């Protein structure tokens, strides 16, 4: 059964001159398990933020 999970991803992104930008992205992921939701979020972060050097994925709650 597919559920909708809220996933928060803390991102550390590299910019020019060895400076870094930190932020948090929120995703609503449709998946059949928490592990799968985390994997889908990881793939989206890699696509959306190609300069990302660190990320922390947290599946926070079940929405539906």
pLDDT given at position 3: 95
pTM of structure:
0.84
Which positions ≥6 away from 46 have C-beta within 8 Å?
Answer: 52
Sequential pLDDT tens for the chain (64 residues): 899 999 999 999 888 777 888 999 999 999 999 999 999 999 999 999 888 889 999 999 988 8
Residue ranges of the alpha helices (H) in 3-58? Answer: 34-48
**Both structure tokens of 14:** 């590299």
pLDDT given at position 16: 77
Residue 32 DSSP class: S
pLDDT given at position 32: 94
Q: Where are the domains of the chain?
A: 3-62
pLDDT given at position 1: 87
**Both structure tokens of 15:** 């910019």
């Amino acid at each position: 059964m597919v559920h909708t999970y809220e996933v928060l991803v803390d991102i550390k992104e590299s910019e020019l001159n060895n400076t870094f930008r930190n932020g948090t992205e929120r995703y609503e992921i449709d998946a059949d398990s928490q592990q799968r939701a985390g994997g889908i979020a990881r793939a989206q972060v890699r696509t959306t933020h190609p300069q990302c050097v660190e990320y922390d994925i947290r599946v926070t709650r079940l929405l539906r």
